[in-house]
Amino acid sequence: MSSLRTHDDTWDIATSVGATAVMVAAARAGETARDDALIKDPYAKILVAGAGTGVWESLLDTEFASKIEDADPEAAAIFEHMGNYQAVRTHFFDDYFAKAVDAGIRQIVILASGLDSRAYRLDWPAGTTVYEIDQPKVLEYKAATLAEHGVQAAAERREVPVDLRFDWPKALRDAGFDDSKPTAWLAEGLLMYLPADAQDRLFELVTELSAPGSRIAAETAGVSSSERREEMRERFQKFADQFNLGSALDIQELIYEDPDRADVADWLNAHGWQAQGQHSLDEMSRLDRLVEMTEEHDRNAFSTFVTAEKR
């Protein structure tokens, strides 16, 4: 159970769960700068630079990785692996959306969208509407920042500023969502921040709102041992102290390590969906982005990318 979370906590882009969106955007910015980039997100750097989190803006420094390499090669490998994971995850779900629109789906819902820029950067067919659900301050920051840089959405983008713990289906419908049309849903970087019962309730509501032919993609929550979580927390704090990054955000303390959490693919298959999963380490290996570590990767600690279609 997370020690930093409460049933009614809230956040902006620089605090709590909101700041993890900046971390992910920083990883996308780093990936975009690579010659062999798996994805291209020209807006990630803009969004990170103005966020004011301190830690993640430092990752925009092109020499930051080499500084870590010089100080701690093992730490550098961990950072490389983290960046590669984010790149592979983004690539997987970008492809999911491409297949969904190729199948004729024109209604998209991104749950807990954070600094996701897909509404702006993907090649959406005419008539596509992208609904983004997240905390009001997070959506406000993204829209205002991109507008300041003259960036326009590539699809009709509709904000749904509501906490997913509240009546988000009503807010979604009020924004124009039509539950009689097939929808492509995405729950990326979300489930680990929900307790088990909230995860089940989320999928129950998505199922109720999904017409036949709808699709969903989700990143499952990995499970790490308490010893491993403490080791990573101490290592990250060491980095923060060593490179003057200020107080490091303890991401592990934002996550719900719930032993009663349902297997996402199994739950979906039992509730009217046809689901399949691709383990993230296998996808990283397929794309030649798996970093060899001094310790063998714990598969249980890494997510599975699940996709499903409503029967």
Helices marked H in 168-242 — which ranges? 168-174, 196-209, 226-242
| DSSP class of 257 | -
User: What pLDDT score was predicted for residue 3?
Assistant: 42
Q: Which of 58-62, 64-68, 248-252 has the lowest mean pLDDT?
A: 248-252
Query: Are 184 and 97 within 8 A, CB to CB?
Result: yes
**Backbone phi and psi for residue 140, each to the nearest 5 degrees, phi listed first:** -60, -45
- The average pLDDT across 35-58 equals 84
Of all residues in the chain, what percent carry a pLDDT higher than 90? 65
* 270 vs 249 pLDDT, higher one: 270
User: What pLDDT score was predicted for residue 94?
Assistant: 98
Displacement of CA 301 from its chain's centroid (Å): 16
At 224-233, the pLDDT tens digits run 777 777 777 7
- Rounded alpha-carbon distances, angstroms, from residue 277 to 88, 150, 217, 226, 268: 15, 38, 9, 26, 11
Class of domain 17-310: alpha beta
Beta bridge partners of 181: none
User: What pLDDT score was predicted for residue 2?
Assistant: 42
User: What pLDDT score was predicted for residue 44?
Assistant: 95
22 contact partners, CB below 8 Å, separation of at least 6? 13, 14, 47, 48, 51, 53, 56, 57, 115
Position 247 pLDDT exceeds 60: no
Pull the structure tokens for residue 176.
């124009």
At 1-28, the pLDDT tens digits run 444 435 555 545 655 555 788 889 999 9
Pull the structure tokens for residue 61.
């420094």
At 129-144, the pLDDT tens digits run 999 999 999 999 999 9
User: What pLDDT score was predicted for residue 5?
Assistant: 39
Beta strand residue intervals within 81-193, DSSP E? 107-111, 129-134, 156-161, 184-187
- The average pLDDT across 161-186 equals 97
For residues 73 and 270, give the distance between their C-alpha atoms in angstroms, rounded to a whole number: 45
At 146-170, the pLDDT tens digits run 999 999 999 999 999 999 989 999 9
For residues 63 and 41, give the distance between their C-alpha atoms in angstroms, rounded to a whole number: 20
Query: Are 101 and 130 within 8 A, CB to CB?
Result: no
- The average pLDDT across 227-246 equals 71
Burial label for 89, CB within 10 Å (0-12, 13-18, 19+), is buried
Position 303 pLDDT exceeds 50: yes
- The average pLDDT across 269-283 equals 98
